[in-house]
Structure 1
């Protein structure tokens, strides 16, 4: 199916068919991206639980830096899909060019900055000894793959905005296979340990970005960038920042929250960090279908808002909501029933039995909120697709800073729950944020247009934020 037919399907086809058709490749793509970390973690856990804990301990730091790339990607999908839905292909090409330029420039700056300050950040987080040394090794190398990761964010946003969710998935699949092959070679054969896991990921992502870059400029991409006579366009960059900044703040705010959260978890010992990381990686696998539906909804909402089809936007939201609740409920049951074999499979090293015990407790608590995590993803897709990313920002930041972290502090200092207080807070915060998100949805503020697509602007070729 070509991109023009996909646009027609998004604007006129069966909602369930559109959701499933677009979300399945996104699910596979997200699953593949998750496998990068899972494969690293699986091999690293064979060395020791401290090595595994180190990869999890530094993850929020790396995510804090790439949050800008994620925000720009969300802005790209939202704006480009609305332009495509409004049949403004020429403007979409200009937006894609500006988006790529800003993204690549940002990635280079953050790579240099992150590599330099990595040891300082880890020290401020309170890590010492082997945890600090191993964490710094892993984090510094992961910073080097940031330009490649940011470039792939561009590829994702441009392709997804056109309804092409298959191309990024194929590219990710090839990259994941390369990563799986390189991991044991670098970690064990070359005896590089935790550094080998990071280098394997970097090389596989570099190959992914290079191939994707070539495909981005092929004739098949109808909104391919054009850098001939390139100049930065202040108006377009302003619109990209206006839509992308709230998402960036939301992602970075969440990352900072997770850094603080890791500090709290670390106060209970390395075993608790390892348990937290292990269960999160397991649940991230189970959550792929719901996350895929949320991402697919972004393009569906964007194109239909561009075509002034608000009733179809609401229909897509409600049907995506039903699907994610069903999927989340099934996932909850499976995780609770098969908790022991699942945990023992993913934690290969048995050097610390308390890690298994803590993981089982956390898995039970977080399993109960699986349907809520699906609802969260769908609400995010709705707000991001409409371009009103301030609401998705509020959900991201609010969940951690105003619900989860305060609850963890209360349980830590006023009860004797121990680490169970953390697990309960993680689960309960998902309920509170979903109630908030649905309240925003009922208020209809998310329907406010962020880009002009009316006929009177078409002749002048002007686009702007609608206040």
Structure 2
């Protein structure tokens, strides 16, 4: 479906149909990505529990670095969607070029800094012995994947801002499928171990990202790039920073919070960290509908705000919440019943299985609240009021989850389950805070203005 038709659907179509059509490709994309993560974990788990623990330990570190790229994605989706909603295609093309150039420069700098700091970072995380070695090996390679990740974030933002969630899905699915094929080859056939998983990721992603960038310079598209649009302009840079910085701060502080969370988890032992890592992969599979709807609603919110249709904005949020909660209640029920068998699929260590099954059963209770969280964040991001999304990201971890973990660790005898209880309660409480911010209505209004020319 072309951009003009998608715009018509988003601004005037049946809301449930609109949400489904936009979120379905994102859901499928998330599904395939999660399948890759599951397969990646499956192959790495064949190396041993310490390798799984290593990947779990350093994931928040990688996420911390790409948080700025996520900020560019959020800013891009908000700005492009609002320009498209206001029928300002030229401005949408100009801001897209600025996003691409800025993201590439920043990602190169972060890759270099990350590569140099690997031993210090892994030590800070509390890794020792085999976990330290495997974390070090994986992190030194995967840092060079950052430019590819940043560029894909921008590509997704440009397409998604137009209402095109299908093309980014195709690009990403292609890379994921290639990655699934390359994983066992690099890990076992080439005998690269955990480093092989990182090499496979970079190679498979790079092939398809190059093609994605090539398509952005197609003049037949409604939004396209040229050399002039890649030259960074001060006014556009400031606009991107204004919208993208709160999202980046929220994601990066949140990611750092997950680093602290992992430090607490590993304090209960390598077995607990491995169980947490596998359990998270399973949870991400169940929650993919929430992630898909949360991403889709940002585009719907942005374009309708750009077209001054606030009643439709509110309708989108209410419909998204009802759909997300229904889907996650079903998924959570299935996960609760099959948690033990799910863990046995990944690993044969009986202690990891027991702890992982306990994690899956407990976290399944709060899944509908995680869905509400994603919808509220998508709403605030689509409106361009990313400071509200930042507060929800930071508040969930730093105001709620981590303090609870500290209290439970020192004042209860719940053991590793105290971490899971803190996760459940933080998901529930942050939704209440998010609803209060939504009810006040100060997030409403355009992040761009009809009369402005950003470049």
Question: Could you tell me how far apart the structure 1 residues matched to 2:287 and 2:226 are?
Answer: 37
1:356 and 2:353 are equivalent in the alignment? yes
1:153 and 2:144 are equivalent in the alignment? no
8 Å contact 1:54–1:131 — kept in the other structure? Answer: yes
Q: Deviations over 1:272-320 (max 9, x none)?
A: 0001111111000111111100100000000000000000000011000
- Cα distance change on mapping 1:68 and 1:25 into 2, 3 Å: same
* SS at structure 2 position matched to 1:96: helix
CA RMSD of aligned residues (A): 1.2
Question: Could you tell me how far apart the structure 2 residues matched to 1:431 and 1:67 are?
Answer: 24
1:255 and 2:255 are equivalent in the alignment? yes
* SS at structure 2 position matched to 1:58: helix
- Which residues of structure 1 form unaligned runs of 5+? none
Offset of residue 322 of structure 1: 0.4
The structure 2 residue matched to 1:382, chosen from 379, 383, 394, is: 379
1:410 and 2:401 are equivalent in the alignment? no
Match of 1:290 in 2: 290
Match of 2:115 in 1: 115
8 Å contact 1:22–1:296 — kept in the other structure? Answer: yes
1:206 and 2:197 are equivalent in the alignment? no
- Cα distance change on mapping 1:220 and 1:344 into 2, 3 Å: farther
Question: Could you tell me how far apart the structure 2 residues matched to 1:405 and 1:59 are?
Answer: 18
**Superposed counterparts of 1:173-188, under 5 Å:** 173-188=173-188
Match of 2:300 in 1: 300
Question: Could you tell me how far apart the structure 1 residues matched to 2:453 and 2:185 are?
Answer: 54
Offset of residue 32 of structure 1: 2.5
Offset of residue 449 of structure 1: 2.6
Match of 1:462 in 2: 453
Match of 1:439 in 2: 436
Question: Could you tell me how far apart the structure 2 residues matched to 1:126 and 1:135 are?
Answer: 11
Offset of residue 223 of structure 1: 1.3
Question: Could you tell me how far apart the structure 2 residues matched to 1:448 and 1:14 are?
Answer: 23
Match of 1:131 in 2: 131
8 Å contact 1:40–1:183 — kept in the other structure? Answer: yes
Question: Could you tell me how far apart the structure 1 residues matched to 2:55 and 2:329 are?
Answer: 30
* SS at structure 2 position matched to 1:446: coil
Offset of residue 230 of structure 1: 4.9
- Cα distance change on mapping 1:230 and 1:371 into 2, 3 Å: closer
8 Å contact 2:108–2:147 — kept in the other structure? Answer: yes
Offset of residue 35 of structure 1: 3.2
Question: Could you tell me how far apart the structure 2 residues matched to 1:189 and 1:182 are?
Answer: 10
Offset of residue 463 of structure 1: 4.7
Match of 2:57 in 1: 57
Match of 1:219 in 2: 219
Match of 2:280 in 1: 280
Match of 2:422 in 1: 425
Match of 2:228 in 1: 228
Question: Could you tell me how far apart the structure 2 residues matched to 1:332 and 1:220 are?
Answer: 44
**Superposed counterparts of 1:101-112, under 5 Å:** 101-112=101-112
Match of 2:3 in 1: 3
* SS at structure 1 position matched to 2:228: coil
Q: Report the TM-score, using the length of structure 1 for normalisation.
A: 0.96
8 Å contact 2:137–2:194 — kept in the other structure? Answer: yes
* SS at structure 2 position matched to 1:369: helix
Question: Could you tell me how far apart the structure 2 residues matched to 1:364 and 1:324 are?
Answer: 19
Offset of residue 448 of structure 1: 3.4
8 Å contact 2:10–2:304 — kept in the other structure? Answer: yes
Match of 1:31 in 2: 31
Stretch deviating more after TM superposition (227-236 or 323-332): 227-236
Q: Report the TM-score, using the length of structure 2 for normalisation.
A: 0.98
Match of 1:78 in 2: 78
Offset of residue 232 of structure 1: 1.9
Offset of residue 139 of structure 1: 1.1
* SS at structure 2 position matched to 1:126: coil
Q: Deviations over 1:17-58 (max 9, x none)?
A: 110000000111122333343222110001111111111110
Offset of residue 211 of structure 1: 1.3
* SS at structure 1 position matched to 2:225: coil
Question: Could you tell me how far apart the structure 1 residues matched to 2:164 and 2:114 are?
Answer: 33
Question: Could you tell me how far apart the structure 1 residues matched to 2:229 and 2:128 are?
Answer: 51
Question: Could you tell me how far apart the structure 2 residues matched to 1:75 and 1:439 are?
Answer: 24
Question: Could you tell me how far apart the structure 2 residues matched to 1:265 and 1:88 are?
Answer: 49
8 Å contact 1:452–1:463 — kept in the other structure? Answer: no
Offset of residue 231 of structure 1: 3.2
* SS at structure 1 position matched to 2:449: coil
